Amino acid sequence: MLNGEVVGLIFDGNFHSLVANVANDGRTNRAVAVDVRGMAEAFKTVYNATELLTELGVACGETGKPK
């Protein structure tokens, strides 16, 4: 979180990344993350989850794309 805002999400990682908040080893920890803007775009265009975007406070412009 940055200033209380979600900036992304880690959605997959290897076994070593499970304890990264306690014992971080950059040689072995691996994780896959996505930026919140990519998540918002997928919610809109792939999943048609505009209600979820509204609930999360993501404004959509005239094009329907998240701002």
* pLDDT tens sequence across 17-43: 776 667 777 787 877 888 878 888 888
The pTM score is 0.52
CA dist list (Å): 2 to 7, 23, 24, 61: 7, 22, 20, 24
Model pLDDT for residues 44-54, shown as the tens digit of each residue: 899 999 888 88
Q: Is residue 2 one of the residues assigned to a domain? A: no
Cα radius of gyration (the chain): 15
Q: Is residue 62 one of the residues assigned to a domain? A: no
Q: Is residue 63 one of the residues assigned to a domain? A: no
Distance CA 10, CA 12 (A): 6
Contact 48, 64 (CB under 8 A): no
Q: Is the pLDDT of residue 2 over 60?
A: no
Contact 40, 59 (CB under 8 A): no
Q: What is the pLDDT of residue 62?
A: 47
* Domain hosting residue 34, numbered range: 8-56
